[in-house]
A and B are shown apart, each in its own frame.
Chain A
Amino acid sequence: MPIELKIAWRNLYRHKGKSFVIGLILCLGSFIMTIGNGVINGLDTGLQKNIVNNFSGDLVLVSDKQIEKTVLASMTGHTLKPITNFTELKPQILNIPSIDKILPAGAGYVWVLNENGNPLDQYLLGVDIESYLEFFNNNLIVEKGSLLKKNQRGVLVSTRMRDWYFDFTDSWTVPINTSFDQEKAPEKVKKNGSSLQTKKSIVYMGLSSKNASLDILTDVIGIVKFKELNSILGFYCIVDMSSFRECMGYFESSDEAVHLSTKNQNLMTSSLDSIDTLFNDSFDTVNESTTKIKNDLSDIKHIKTSQLDKKLGTYNIIFVKLKKDVNLNKTITQINNLLKEKNIPLQAISWNDAIGMFGQIAMLMKGSLFLFVLFIFIVAIIIIMNTLSMATMERIPEIGMMRAIGTKKRFIQTMFLAETSLLSFVFGGAGIILGSITIIGFKLLKLSTSHEMLQILYGGDTFSPTLDFISVGLCVLQLSLIVCLSSIYPIYLARKITPLDSVLRN
């Protein structure tokens, strides 16, 4: 064993108490850092797994005219630009090598109209339910009622939105063909007793950039829950694609079949301000409301009559799952380049950009955790540096004597570094091992939550901090940094000790 290491080891053993205190700080610090890294990693992988697999896919394709990237959780209420010819685009999209499968859908912000007069806002997802469930691994659990059947019109209300509707309207949503089950209802609902109103249909009004467009009355087919992250993803209710299109003002071929008589056409263009005109034969005044609707539909006004064929499909978002082991960021760049090259009027947005505020909250939590770990890191450095500096000052006679008999500064430096390295290897290593065991313990405990913030922190419904080789490597790196940074000042002090200091102390 090199003499520096031998002296370092024996010095640590000689000052057991002090070594133990520093070691304990190192152990605690690395323990907390390991847990912190595990939680950050769990949050990352959990969110990615649960959101990618169950809600957003790896990326989404939206119209190239779409400016706002937070297409799945926009706070602005802006509607997505429509994709009007999905059927034509589909083979071209599926030709992109990294893409595994796709799901066209409609996503938008709607108002829930109710008797109170104060509309409630929420997100609505329009899908073909069979394809949706297949694409997202049957991510829905039916609480009451049933799932939508093929070509059935209606809405699947999430448990979260059902609660929210109740908070705002005092009426409890139940699916059609079912009845209110008082026993299974939450306490807050039970309190209303016999005066409780139930609702089996909901009126949604689609919102566009030019304000409201059309409203639809939809039957509630089922009350559903997302398998993971229901508190967050439950902001969305799911409707059939036809209802969604109608709500957002995307016309279908069936709409084209409506032929209005001249009289009715004149009525459509009449002004609601002059109610008398309704009883007038001329009906030639331009209706402001109709103009508004026309403006709302300006986004799709270029659609030719032939394109209104339902088969061509008007959607506003395409969920994409990539093939395995594909780098997301690189692939997004590649896909965007390819889309431009082939003049496909779409753009790719990563899942974390698309989920917007959820991703931002997750980033905030991640940042806070990182700051917490950093705080522990700095505190550990300060405490260890202080203790080591005091220990150095106590060892002036010993170090000075060593310098007098011919020890170079480099030797003293190595000796100190060896002492802190040994301490951190033993105690810091123990902290990392303890932290890893605790993480495994947390995983086994399967702590679950329905609180939305905790769900983001957990990266799912269950707390599952994760440590992979990279995270363990990061812990070791952080520990090494602590050792290096906390040793700098004590080593500087030790290097400054001269043989004369030893003689003068004597």
Chain B
Amino acid sequence: MAIVELKNINKDYYLGKTVVHALKNINLKIEKGSFSAIVGPSGSGKTTLLNVIGCIDKSSSGSVQIHGNQIDSLTDNQLTELRLFNIGFIFQSFHLIPVLNVLENIEFPLLLMNKYSKQEIRQKALDMMKSVHIMDQKDHRPSELSGGQRQRVAIARALVTDPEIVLADEPTANLDSETGAIILKLMKDLNKTRKTTFLFSTHDPEILKYADSSITIRDGQINAN
């Protein structure tokens, strides 16, 4: 069953009078529970594709379906709710809230959901911290953590809401190769244990070995799937 389905997606950027075709006629299906990678060189359109799938950016034409929902006609508030309840994000630069500690950062999306009690939120966050092995850093602020620890917090924050899909844009780009491997292994483990769909972008062929499937993109077009 496809959790994400893209049909004839085009994305154009306008730089003055010049039109940049970032995505060209993309047709793609991401299966539920998969651990897929989008591979391609810098500027190939990986991030743009992830942004369109993650409802962060809108396509110029074509249709996007996430978990059966057609997202093209959704309002800003509806898209925000879709991201909150269905999509988890892991960024290259971690993007944690600097003024909140590790526990609070993980609790944050649960608070936004307005669905759980305080105790439930706390318990879910602690469970998630255990899963990503950062219990010792519970009270630390992001600035007091290493890159690997920050990415673990970001993974925990992305997964704590039990999303349908987690999108990770070059999650290991700011990490050394050893830490990057550990992070990918962690993501893979979580994919297996929680059955969460992962879609991550990378330009490093080394980490492709962790992916179940890969999508190669070049000049905005999918070359191989």
**Alpha-carbon distance A503/B112, docked complex (angstroms):** 21
Check if A10 sits within 8 Å of B100, measured CB to CB: yes
Binary flags per residue of A49-79, CB closer than 8 Å to B gives 1, else 0: 0000000000000000000000000000000
State whether A503 and B51 are in contact (beta carbons under 8 Å apart), knowing that A7-B97, A14-B99, A401-B91 are contacts in the complex. Answer: yes
Task: Compute the total of residue contacts between A and B using a CB distance below 8 Å.
Answer: 71
- Which residues of A have CB within 8 Å of B200? none
State whether A406 and B100 are in contact (beta carbons under 8 Å apart), knowing that A500-B51, A506-B91 are contacts in the complex. Answer: no
**Alpha-carbon distance A257/B58, docked complex (angstroms):** 107
**Alpha-carbon distance A408/B95, docked complex (angstroms):** 17
Check if A406 sits within 8 Å of B91, measured CB to CB: no
- Which residues of A have CB within 8 Å of B104? 6
Most buried by B among A3, A398, A406: A406
**Alpha-carbon distance A284/B137, docked complex (angstroms):** 122
Pick the contact of A409 from B76, B89, B98, B108 — CB < 8 Å? B76
Check if A407 sits within 8 Å of B91, measured CB to CB: no
**Alpha-carbon distance A498/B76, docked complex (angstroms):** 10
Check if A406 sits within 8 Å of B85, measured CB to CB: yes
Binary flags per residue of A366-399, CB closer than 8 Å to B gives 1, else 0: 0000000000000000000000000000000110
Binary flags per residue of B69-100, CB closer than 8 Å to A gives 1, else 0: 00000001100110111000101110101111
- Which residues of B have CB within 8 Å of A245? none
**Alpha-carbon distance A402/B91, docked complex (angstroms):** 12
Say how far B196's CB is from chain A's closest CB, in angstroms: 16
State whether A404 and B108 are in contact (beta carbons under 8 Å apart), knowing that A7-B100, A10-B100, A409-B76 are contacts in the complex. Answer: no
Say how far A20's CB is from chain B's closest CB, in angstroms: 17
Check if B112 sits within 8 Å of A411, measured CB to CB: yes
- The verdict on A258 contacting chain B, using a C-beta distance below 8 Å, is no
Check if B99 sits within 8 Å of A406, measured CB to CB: no
Could you tell me which residues of chain B, from 132 to 149, have a CB within 8 Å of some CB in chain A? none
Pick the contact of A405 from B57, B92, B109, B169 — CB < 8 Å? B109
Pick the contact of B95 from A13, A397, A407, A500 — CB < 8 Å? A397
**Closest residue of B by beta carbon distance from A11:** B99
Say how far B50's CB is from chain A's closest CB, in angstroms: 9
- The verdict on B54 contacting chain A, using a C-beta distance below 8 Å, is yes
- The verdict on B150 contacting chain A, using a C-beta distance below 8 Å, is no
Say how far A456's CB is from chain B's closest CB, in angstroms: 52
Check if A405 sits within 8 Å of B108, measured CB to CB: yes
- The verdict on A222 contacting chain B, using a C-beta distance below 8 Å, is no
**Closest residue of A by beta carbon distance from B54:** A404
B interface, over-half SS: helix
**Alpha-carbon distance A397/B94, docked complex (angstroms):** 11
Check if B56 sits within 8 Å of A499, measured CB to CB: yes
State whether A404 and B89 are in contact (beta carbons under 8 Å apart), knowing that A3-B111, A500-B56, A500-B57 are contacts in the complex. Answer: yes
Check if A406 sits within 8 Å of B84, measured CB to CB: yes
**Alpha-carbon distance A13/B100, docked complex (angstroms):** 12
Say how far B76's CB is from chain A's closest CB, in angstroms: 7
Check if A404 sits within 8 Å of B100, measured CB to CB: no
Total interface residues on B, using CB and 8 Å?
31
- The verdict on A144 contacting chain B, using a C-beta distance below 8 Å, is no
**Closest residue of A by beta carbon distance from B82:** A406
State whether A404 and B99 are in contact (beta carbons under 8 Å apart), knowing that A409-B76, A500-B56 are contacts in the complex. Answer: no
Say how far A500's CB is from chain B's closest CB, in angstroms: 5
- The verdict on A331 contacting chain B, using a C-beta distance below 8 Å, is no
- The verdict on B63 contacting chain A, using a C-beta distance below 8 Å, is no
Check if B56 sits within 8 Å of A405, measured CB to CB: no
**Alpha-carbon distance A500/B108, docked complex (angstroms):** 20
Check if B100 sits within 8 Å of A502, measured CB to CB: no
**Closest residue of A by beta carbon distance from B76:** A409
- The verdict on A403 contacting chain B, using a C-beta distance below 8 Å, is yes
- Which residues of A have CB within 8 Å of B152? none
**Closest residue of B by beta carbon distance from A9:** B99
Could you tell me which residues of chain A, from 1 to 37, have a CB within 8 Å of some CB in chain B? 3, 6-7, 10-11, 13-14
Check if A405 sits within 8 Å of B157, measured CB to CB: yes
Pick the contact of A3 from B81, B108, B161 — CB < 8 Å? B108
State whether A503 and B47 are in contact (beta carbons under 8 Å apart), knowing that A404-B56, A405-B108, A406-B85 are contacts in the complex. Answer: yes
**Closest residue of B by beta carbon distance from A408:** B80
Check if B81 sits within 8 Å of A406, measured CB to CB: yes
State whether A14 and B95 are in contact (beta carbons under 8 Å apart), knowing that A405-B157, A406-B112, A503-B56 are contacts in the complex. Answer: no
**Closest residue of A by beta carbon distance from B143:** A14
Pick the contact of A406 from B93, B95, B98, B109 — CB < 8 Å? B109
**Closest residue of B by beta carbon distance from A407:** B112
**Closest residue of B by beta carbon distance from A506:** B93
- Which residues of A have CB within 8 Å of B54? 404, 499
Could you tell me which residues of chain B, from 144 to 177, have a CB within 8 Å of some CB in chain A? 157-158, 161, 169
**Alpha-carbon distance A405/B91, docked complex (angstroms):** 11
Check if A398 sits within 8 Å of B112, measured CB to CB: no
Say how far A398's CB is from chain B's closest CB, in angstroms: 7
- Which residues of B have CB within 8 Å of A411? 112
Q: What 3 pairs between A and B have smallest CB-CB spacing?
A: A406-B84, A10-B99, A401-B95
5 cross-chain CB contacts under 8 A = A3-B108, A6-B104, A406-B83, A406-B85, A506-B95
B residues bordering A, Cβ < 8 Å? 47, 51, 54, 56-57, 76-77, 80-81, 83-85, 89, 91-93, 95, 97-100, 104, 108-109, 111-113, 157-158, 161, 169
